Amino acid sequence: GVLGIAGAGAQGFPTRTITLVVPFAAGGPSDAIGRLVAQSMSQTLGQQVIVENVAGAGGTTGAARVAKAEPDGHTLLIHHLALPAGPALYKSLAYDTRTAFEPVGLVNTGPMALVSKKDFPAKTAKDLFAYLKRDGASVNIAHAGVGSNSHICAVMLSQAVGFKPTYVSYRGTGPAMNDLVGGQVDVLCDQSTTAVPQIEGGAVIGHAVTSAERLAVLKDVPTSAEAGLPALDMTVWHGIYAPAGTPKDRIATLHAALQKAIADPTIVERFAAVGTQVYPPAERSVDAHRKRFLAEIDRIAELMKAAGVAAQ
């Protein structure tokens, strides 16, 4: 009530449960990263930070939810490259990507891993690229919706190899990976976060990683450059956002709780085990986040233009 609010005062934030919107299905990379960070932030903030999966339209449905939320710091968004990719891929977003969100901080950064179903005829990256070049249209490529990382990676793959992909869209790469393991789709380019355990377990074939160096946890999987496709170079990252207009002192409180989370050795270790890393310390500021976010809007627009992918 009124007394509660008055009593809370400027320092009394957060005053209730915080909702962290994950704009993709449960069981995928954004969900995994979001849940780890939410748990740590709950402890620091002294209020529950609960994850809510609001999936659909390549992550733009969840983003719209947060853009329209009360800007009081109790509704947050964890998102990635798909947030700045939005304007290049969707004609009528429910929000203005450049101004609707207040960056809270970057979380992690890592590569994508190109994987195929276990019994796919091409067993190596080189064989896969040759197969796609020859017969790419017959291959079903899963992704998490237009504009998602997995979609952007598939577009880059089709550009680099030179074939017209046949896409199968999901509400996240959690369900996409399930179907790849089950053999219902052929190929997926997913964040290492969910791909690494499946490759390690032998449930899928790991063809290539999109980083300059091999991953320590996937020593046998070549980089795309080693496999002859240097253009398949992709780095992904997550960041946390609040709705525009959220008071600066609340952003600062949330930013500090996020810093504590990504400095936690348990989180550092759990990220590393799946081939991603906490964001480099020198670039953890809110300003660095804003800069990266805005730069990606232009970069992805150029990439999609070059690939001939128009907004839908």
Residues at the interface with ligand MLT (CB under 6 A): 24-25, 28-31, 80, 82, 144, 148-150, 172-174, 191
Identify which of residues 24 and 241 has a Cβ nearer to ligand MLT in the complex: 24
**Cβ at position 189, least distance to ligand MLT in Å:** 8
Identify which of residues 149 and 223 has a Cβ nearer to ligand MLT in the complex: 149
**Cβ at position 78, least distance to ligand MLT in Å:** 9
Say if residue 181 is exposed, middle or buried (CB neighbours under 10 Å; 0-12, 13-18, 19+). middle
**Cβ at position 201, least distance to ligand MLT in Å:** 19
Residue pointed to by tokens 């790469």: 173
Identify which of residues 71 and 110 has a Cβ nearer to ligand MLT in the complex: 110
Identify which of residues 31 and 186 has a Cβ nearer to ligand MLT in the complex: 31
Q: Are 262 and 279 within 8 A, CB to CB?
A: yes
DSSP letter for each residue of 146-198:
TTSHHHHHHHHHHHHHT---EEEE-SSHHHHHHHHHTTSSSEEEEEHHHHHHH
Identify which of residues 30 and 276 has a Cβ nearer to ligand MLT in the complex: 30
Find all residues with CB under 8 Å of 306, minimum gap 6, and list them.
159
Identify which of residues 14 and 111 has a Cβ nearer to ligand MLT in the complex: 111
Q: CA gyration radius for the chain?
A: 19
**Cβ at position 196, least distance to ligand MLT in Å:** 14
**Cβ at position 213, least distance to ligand MLT in Å:** 22
**Cβ at position 204, least distance to ligand MLT in Å:** 15
**Cβ at position 232, least distance to ligand MLT in Å:** 15
Residue 51 to residue 22: CA distance in whole angstroms: 7
**Cβ at position 307, least distance to ligand MLT in Å:** 17
Identify which of residues 238 and 250 has a Cβ nearer to ligand MLT in the complex: 238
Identify which of residues 82 and 208 has a Cβ nearer to ligand MLT in the complex: 82
